[in-house]
Amino acid sequence: MVWCQTIKFEDVPEGDAVSVCVEGEPLALYKLDGRVHATHDICTHAKAHLAEGFVSGDCVECPLHEGVFHIPTGRPVSGPVSIPIQVYPVRIEEGMVLVDVPPSG
């Protein structure tokens, strides 16, 4: 496991998303009921940032084509998306959000 530091827990807005870059990968961090989740930030359908999308319940809707993903699992829920969005393990340490991003390649 390679835990990478991202941003402070308190800087992830509740019920919303924020984008971060970890090991060169754009990620979206979400806070749902006080718990932080991480997915890849780029929609699997077309080049759009999910962190700029609309968070509703435990799903995020892509800002471009209304593809909807389940945040905790990455499962495609509706819209034109068929490929799941990559999700990453998250833990909180000393107020920081750590994300496990496997080295690419």
Q: Where along the sequence are the contacts to other proteins (CB under 8 A)?
A: 46-48, 52-54, 56, 61, 63-66, 80, 82-83
Nearer to other proteins, 11 or 52 (CB): 52
- In whole angstroms, the minimum distance from the beta carbon of 66 to other proteins comes to 8
Q: Exposed e or buried b for every residue in 40-55, given b needs 16+ CB within 10 A?
A: bbbbbbeebbbbebeb
Nearest approach, Cβ of residue 75 and other proteins (Å): 16
Q: Which is nearer to other proteins, 4 or 64 (CB)?
A: 64
End-to-end CA gap in the chain: 15
Q: What angle do CA 70, 6, 81 make, to 5 degrees?
A: 25
What's the closest the beta carbon of residue 14 comes to other proteins, in angstroms? 15
